[in-house]
Chains A and B, each alone.
Chain A
Amino acid sequence: MLSVENFSVTFTMYDRGLVQKQLTVITDLDLEVRAGEVVAVVGSSGSGKSLLAHAVLGILPANAETSGRILFQGEPLSAARCQALRGRAIALIPQSIGYLDPLMTVGAQVCRVGQLNGLAKPAAKLVMLETFKRYNLASEVQHLYPFQLSGGMARRVLVAMAVVGQAELVIADEPTPGLHPDVVTETLNHLRELASEGKGVMLITHDIEAALQIADRVAVFYAGTTVEIAAASDFANGKLRHPYTQALWRALPQHDFIPVAGD
Chain B
Amino acid sequence: MLIADQVCFRYSPRHPWVLHQVNLEVTPAEVVGLQGPSGFGKTTLGKLLAGYLTPTQGCITLAGKPLPPQGYCPVQMVFQSPESAINPRWRIAKVLQEGQFPSLDLQARLGIHSGWLDRFPHELSGGELQRIAVARVLNPQTRYLIADEMTAMLDANTQALIWQAVLAHAAQHRLGILVISHEAALLRRICHRVVDLSDANTIRAQASASERA
What is the interface of chain A, defined by CB distance below 8 A to chain B? 42-47, 150-151, 174, 177-181, 183-184, 206-209, 247-249, 251-254, 257-260, 263
Contacts and interface: CB of A to CB of B under 8 A. Distances in A.
A151 B154 CA distance: 20
A252 B161 CA distance: 11
Contacts of A209: 185
Interface string B182-213: 11111011100000000000000000000001
B8 to A, nearest CB: 22
Contacts of B153: 45, 174, 177, 206
Contacts of A252: 156, 160, 185
A178 B38 contact: yes
Nearest to B161: A259
A253 B126 contact: no
Contact of B111 (A47, A179, A258, A263): A263
Contact of B160 (A150, A181, A184, A251): A251
A252 B213 CA distance: 12
Interface size range of chain B in the complex: 20 to 34
Nearest to A244: B157
A181 B184 contact: yes
11 contacts: A43-B155, A44-B155, A150-B39, A178-B38, A180-B182, A183-B38, A247-B157, A248-B156, A252-B160, A254-B185, A257-B213
B152 interface: yes
Interface of B: 37-39, 80, 111, 124-128, 149, 152-161, 163-164, 182-186, 188-190, 213
A47 B126 CA distance: 10
B157 A259 contact: yes
B10 to A, nearest CB: 18
Which one of A42, A174, A259 has the highest number of Cβ atoms from chain B below 10 Å of its Cβ? A259
Contacts of B37: 151, 180
A181 B154 contact: no
Nearest to A150: B39
Contacts of B124: 46
B188 A253 contact: yes
